[in-house]
Structure 1
C-alpha cells in the first residue's frame, strides 16, 4: 500500500494561499523563488525522487502544468516524468504528460489509488484536497516548509475537522537560514 505525503509551503500563521504570487492574492508571493533557496530546492527534488506519483487538486494541477513541462533540470525532469493523478470533477483532457483524472468520489478514488500504488504519493499545494484527505485519515505524512512571515489573511492550511487528528513530529530541519522543514506522521496510537 502506498503512503500519501503532503508537502506544503505555509506562513507562520498557517496561510497557504498564493505562495508564488501568481494568483492575484494581495499578500501573495510570500514564499519567494525556489531557485533563491538552494536547501529548499534540494528538499523538493528529494521528495520528487522518492515519490511514485503526484496527486493534485485541479487548481494546483493547472498551476504546475502551466510551468513545469517547459522547464529543464532534475526537478522538472522528475515532475514531468512522474505519473500524475488529478482530483477533479471538471477537468476532462489533461495536457501534462502521464496525467490521469480521478473524477469520481475523491475519497474513494484516492483510497483506491493508495491501495494500488506501492510507494509514496506526493501531494503539493491542493489545500482543499488536503483537508478532505485529512478528514478521512488518508494523510500518512505532512511536510511543512514554514516561512517566516505572518500574513494576517488568506486561505489557511487547515479547516475544521470532525475529530482530532493526532500527528507526531518525526523531522525538524532549518533550511536556507530562515525556513524550517517540519515533518509529521499520522499518529495511529489511541489516546494521544
Structure 2
C-alpha cells in the first residue's frame, strides 16, 4: 500500500500562498527572500525526495505551474521529475501540461484511495493546498515533510486553513537545511 506524503515549503506561520510572488499578493515572493544562501541545500533535499518517490499527486494549478518549468529544465532532478508518473486531480482538465501525467477526474477521495492501493511507495504531493486539505480531511495523508522558511507573514492562505479535522502527528525528524531553513517530518498518527 502506498503512502501519501505532503511535501511543502511553508513560512514559520504556515503560509503557503504566493511563494514566488507571481500571484501579486503584497506578501508574495517569500521563497526567494529567504533562499539565497540555502538554495543548494534545499535543492539537494528536494532531489533526494524525488529519487525516493514512486509518484506525484498534484492539483490542476500545480500542473500548470510546474509543467512548463520542469518539462524543459536541464539536469538530473528535472529528468527524475519528468520520469515520475504524475496524477493530476481535476474535474476540468483533459490534457495535463507536465509530461508523464494522468488526469484523475473522478471523486478525489476515491481516486486517491485507489492510487494508494496501486502504488507501493511514496506518493508525494507538492503545493496543491486545496488537494492537501481534502486529503487530510478524509484521512488519506500519511506523512508531512515541511521545509520551514524563517519568515512570519501574518496573512495569506495557510497549509492547514480549513483542514476540517484535528489530526495527531508524531515527529519523525527535524534538521536544519543550510543556515536558515528547517526540515520537519511528521507521521500522521492513526486511531488505535
Give the TM-score taking structure 1 as reference length.
0.94
Residue 35 of structure 1 deviates from its aligned partner by 8.9
Deviations along 1:123-158, one digit per CA (max 9) or x if unpaired, are: 000000000001111111100100011111111111
- The within-5 A match list for 1:24-173 is 24-32=24-32, 37-173=39-175
Contact 2:5 2:142 in 1 (8 A): yes
Rounded Cα–Cα distance in structure 2 between residues aligned with 1:94 and 1:163: 31
Q: How many residues align?
A: 190
Which residue matches 1:174? 176
Give the TM-score taking structure 2 as reference length.
0.94
Measured on the aligned residues, the alpha-carbon RMSD in Å equals: 1.5
Which residue matches 1:5? 5
Deviations along 1:20-75, one digit per CA (max 9) or x if unpaired, are: 22222221110116895111111100110001111101111110002111101111
Which structure 1 residue ranges, 5 or more long, are not aligned? none
Change in 2 beyond 3 A, CA 1:179/1:189 = same
Change in 2 beyond 3 A, CA 1:97/1:156 = same
Deviations along 1:78-124, one digit per CA (max 9) or x if unpaired, are: 11111110000111112322110001100100100110111110100
Residue 189 of structure 1 deviates from its aligned partner by 4.5
